[in-house]
A and B are shown apart, each in its own frame.
Chain A
Amino acid sequence: MAMMLRACPLARLRDVHLVSSFKGLSLKSNSTSVSFSAVQVTPACKKLVVQPMAAAGYKLKSHKASAKRFGVTGSGKITRRCAGRAHLLRKKSTKRKNRLAGKRWAEMASWRCLELARGVGTSILFREAAALGSLKWKRTATAAGASQITNCLHSVASNSKREPRPVKTRVMTQERGSGETQTTADKYEAVIGIETHVQLGTSTKAFCSCPSEYGSEPNANVCPVCMGLPGALPVLNAAVVESGVKLGLALQANIALKSKFDRKQYFYPDLPKGYQISQFDIPIAEKGYIDVDLPVEFGGGHRRFGVTRVHMEEDAGKLIHAGNDRLSGSSSSQVDLNRAGVPLLEVVSEPEMRTGLEAAEYAAELQRMVRYLGISNGNMQEGSMRCDVNISIRPKGREQFGTKVEIKNMNSFSAMQKAIEFEMDRQIALLEEGERIKQETRLWEEGSQQTISMRSKEGLADYRYFPEPDLPEVVLSQEYIDTTRANLPELPDAKRRRYESLGLSMQDTLVLANDSDVAAFFDEVLEKGTEVKQAANWIMGDVAAHLKSIKLTITEAKLTPASLAELIGLIKDGTISGKIAKEILPELIEKGGSAKGAVESKGLSQISDPAVIESMVDKILADNVKQVEAYRGGKTKLQGFFVGQAMKASGGRVNPGLLNKILMAKLNG
């Protein structure tokens, strides 16, 4: 009977109406159709309200490409950037460039069709949604049909019940350094601590041998143990302890030689045993820290944030709510236990962060760390890394913490930063009005770019922890810890320090060390004796650009560090020009092979024989008598024409320096 669960398919998901205000502009769902049913702006609410219809169980996310490019004004108009401000700027006057730099209202006729639903094929005209914000379309929409209007009014009403968006009191992070603007925000500071759940990339679950995979069919990866069937017992996966020790060591924390598991007890349908196996009073690692380099564009700087503890635990299952993607309003819920028993490391930070940026950087560094260690993919979208932020506000200079609020549901670092900044504004506004802050858990809503209250936390839950009697203590030998420490890879911070010492700029260092694969590739190229700056530029420039265009990662590409080093070497010794190198790079990335081989097979090596060049130049000059005359008559700009002809004739292979020298000699002589 227990196996019934497995056979049960996902129920037919019912379409529902969701209300979302219109900041991310368009909304997309991962695999189910989304369509906008009614859009209207009423005088009562100046905000554009769109009602997307999404199948339940899927998040509505803003269409990133659009969200990056378009903005919405307070009155609902849509702005875009002006064309012509990016290229060919030398010929434009400063006045013209300044004019082009401003925002433009988006004209309905200029909008592209944007596909909103990936894979499903349902798309809407973006301009429809967008242009409804303008006066012209408001009339049309009003005339469209009474039912839609009612629908819309309903949504506006429910929207207005929400808490008002707080006034921006905070100065943008970038400007903070200037210290010129004094706002109310400067009176306060935020105290931020982060609890991060890192889902480990072990091949099996924490306490049974079920595969620990993301994206399987519901309840495909279950067994009596992770389903919590009567009589089933947990058996600890050694890889979980190893991951815990690795992360603990990477955080410079104290590893507990003897730790134990406890049961954290609460009832919820996604928790099959009625308790979660976790670690309570003796975690695997305690008292560590993370060193962070803040991005250069935000002023840079170095920070150290304390890590209180790291403990091992198991994940719960997942509820799929039919009828709505939230519990409220859904007609029924189903349990998917694929995730139940998947190992997690919970990393608890000290409340030492003060800004959204610091928090986001802390999380990003933690992500880099787990990726460098190879213990997790750290993917925030898939939920492999989940950050819950605790934030409270206090007047500057006060010791005592304010009432803390927990924010969940941020699936990117930028969302984290924005959620924190939103929450700071909200709390400061409340404090300014003399109101009390409620202790609660709030959800970050990506669509509306705000946090909403999820549940009050006033009465603290009693989890009735007690030692897990089904598992023996975890006892580690000092030797095991020492071996693990000795085998740790170079960590992001050490890597950055090393790159800096190589003479790379902070900007380059941050980019290269961001991804462990890229860093490893870079290191290998360096090992081949390539010059540091050259290697960095190629990897961050052309290689990265091409990889991005063909949607591959550096490990998936066929390009080996050796062949890139070879390629750079060929430029250096003059065999090929940089231009040729750029031409053959895509082939190396897509098909592999050695750079020398590619150059030879295509006959692309540079022509550096003066005699050959001379004869080539002679021929060009002979073929273009008119131009030669014009040149000699004073039109020296034609020099480029001759160079171009030479390049064309040689297929770009001629050594540019030599060519110039010979050409000038011939033309002027």
Chain B
Amino acid sequence: MAMLHSRPTWVRKVGSPGYVIQHSQVFDASNLRIVLHSNLGSGCREVHRSATPSKSVSQCSEGAQQRPVSVIRKIRESLVRREKSAVEVTEAYLVKLREQEPHVRSFLHVSEKALQDAQELDRRVAEGREIGPLAGVPLGVKDNLCTRDMPSTGGSRILQGYYPPYDATAVAKLRSSGAILVGKTNMDEFGMGSSTEGSAYQVTANPWDLSRVPGGSSGGSAAAVAAGQCAGALGSDTGGSIRQPASFCGVVGLKPSYGRVSRFGLMAYASSLDVVGCFGNSVMDAAILLEAIAGADKNDSTCSPQDVPDYTSNLLPIDDLGSKPLAGIRFGIISETIADGVVEDVLSAVKQAVTHLESLGASVREVAMPNFSLGLPAYYVLATSEASSNLARYDGVRYGPRAHGEEVMSMYANSRALGFGPERRILMGTYALSAGYYDAFYKKAQQVRTVIQQDFKNALEEVDLLISPVTPTAAYKIGEKVNDPLAMYVGDLMTVNVNLAGLPALVVPCGLAKGGTSGLPVGLQMIGPAFREESILRPGHIFEQTLPTSFSAPTLVS
């Protein structure tokens, strides 16, 4: 049928045209090392050949040994003061993006319209018209958020070349706030994975150590922010897909409460767990981004109509704070997350963070959540069940490539076999919902979910905020866990419960583990009560501003 066709694959350009040609290979874990090397060499040459590096490239990678700064505010202020134009800022980021891309490979598509949008914005500034809170800020958007002008594939072959006819609500809100969208970031197929190795197109590398994974599924977004390819990025979090990569890449990641941000236009993985969130270089940036995307949406009936508070006004400059800015705040560290199975480096980083929090005046105690370990299996039953249903629409009938079949059922089977990577999860979910198994799996998992929600509620009555490590380890090597799905699933242990309970959580870098050239970042997870994002943003801000360690990924191109 003529109604369906896919765009040719070469539309998916990354970086400059010269770069595309050499990069058009398909990577998998086994040949990755070699490819990396070849890219390192040629990539450098490419960078030298191309583009005019701008003075402001250093903007985001500077600040070593300095406090995290709000890149977004800086850009906006420079725009308002007419120190820089939006075009200059965008160009600088695009140069950096192209320079880093051969190594990091965090983008699936780079916008051709970014500079155009920046010009438009400059006109607004010149005319003295009002500009939004994100004016001129170059942002990356995870590929499972629909964008009208860029392909949106969810990292899957089955949506190759798919241009949605509409913008996701979160994306539309970014645009109306004046943000410049520079591209779509890589991800595990439909969010199903924890390393970005599950992308159908490419494997993203961790900017701290190119042989390591950036985490996932929003690995592309996290790596892009860490590598300075964009000033911030949107991601989505179903079981830790924002927090784990934020921790692996040493950036701030914010998973809002379920229902805080509209899911309209987010390709559903597990509808009752999915949340759109954001990455930034600082807690302030994450807060600004959240404020931009949060709020009720008539297109999403699971989105809360609650008002969006002012998240940034409480985030005062560090000089305005007293010596004990966290005095009176009770932190509880979840006992189950610092037990066996967590590597020493991570533990010590978290312990240092605890000490640091105490030095800021907070009280920290251990809180036991006995049902914590039940969360992981429950999560995998619920998430895969919903996924098996949500992914049913990718049948090759309306969009995406279609395989041939003698009759309709075989056409479905062939198209899906051709297009899908995460068959295991789809099968698991289908099985869990099948007649005779529903009660044993899905229903049970829902009961567990209720228990976990109750546990969190009780715990958050005892203390103000909960803290925990984000993952049991720091970033692991690419290919290390590809053939061991269970090991990868276990990596989600500390994050999935938060999704089951629908609570907001913030990840801030808190220390370094051994590995790479300059260590590997370790993040600290702060969990607050539902719809009380401000209650974690303020302590998170104070924590990062007072922490002696700085977290800038080592410069890749010398």
Contact = CB atoms under 8 A, between A and B. Distances in A.
Chain A partners chain B: yes
A272 B400 CA distance: 13
Contacts of B433: 265, 464-466
A274 B3 contact: no
A275 to B, nearest CB: 6
A233 B146 contact: no
Interface string A31-71: 00000000000000000000000000000000000000000
B293 to A, nearest CB: 15
A275 B268 contact: no
Contacts of B412: 267
B339 interface: no
A272 B4 contact: no
Interface string A527-550: 000000000000000000000000
Contact of A230 (B6, B162, B271, B395): B162
B4 A4 contact: yes
B163 A1 contact: yes
Interface string B1-23: 11111110000000000000000
B395 A274 contact: yes
A229 B390 CA distance: 11
A217 to B, nearest CB: 14
Interface string B392-403: 111101110000
A231 B398 contact: no
| A231, A332, A462 pick with most chain B CB within 10 angstroms | A231
A465 B437 CA distance: 12
Interface residues of B, number: 55
A7 B4 CA distance: 11
Contacts of A557: none
B164 A229 contact: yes
Interface stretch (B116-124, B298-306, B344-352, B469-477): B298-306
A211 interface: no
A605 to B, nearest CB: 63
Interface stretch (A136-144, A372-380, A467-475, A574-582): A467-475
Interface stretch (B125-133, B219-227, B258-266, B530-538): B258-266
A470 B303 CA distance: 10
Interface in B234-287: 263-268, 270-272
Given A231-B268, A469-B272, A2 B389 contact: no
Interface in A205-243: 224, 227-236
Interface residues of A, number: 38
B409 A231 contact: no
Interface in A266-287: 267-269, 272-275
A334 interface: yes
Nearest to B382: A469
Contacts of A233: 263-264, 299-302
A224 B167 CA distance: 11
| A7, A228, A229 pick with most chain B CB within 10 angstroms | A229
A235 B265 contact: no
| B166, B430, B442 pick with most chain A CB within 10 angstroms | B166
A274 B265 contact: no
Given A227-B398, A231-B265, A272-B398, A466 B2 contact: no
B139 to A, nearest CB: 18
A466 B442 contact: yes
A4 to B, nearest CB: 5
B185 interface: no
Contacts of B392: 265, 267, 273-275
Interface of B: 1-7, 144-146, 152, 154, 159, 161-166, 168, 263-268, 270-272, 298-302, 385-386, 388-389, 391-395, 397-399, 408-409, 412, 430, 433-435, 438, 442
9 nearest interchain CB pairs?
A274-B392, A469-B271, A469-B272, A464-B433, A231-B265, A230-B267, A8-B3, A231-B146, A462-B435
Given A1-B162, A227-B398, A466-B433, 15 more contacts: A1-B6, A1-B163, A2-B162, A229-B398, A230-B146, A230-B154, A231-B265, A231-B266, A232-B264, A233-B264, A235-B299, A275-B389, A462-B435, A469-B302, A470-B301
23 contacts: A2-B398, A2-B399, A3-B165, A4-B3, A7-B3, A8-B2, A8-B3, A229-B146, A229-B166, A230-B152, A233-B299, A265-B433, A267-B392, A267-B395, A269-B395, A274-B393, A332-B1, A334-B3, A464-B435, A466-B433, A469-B271, A471-B301, A472-B302
Interface of A: 1-5, 7-8, 224, 227-236, 263, 265, 267-269, 272-275, 332, 334-335, 462, 464-466, 469-472
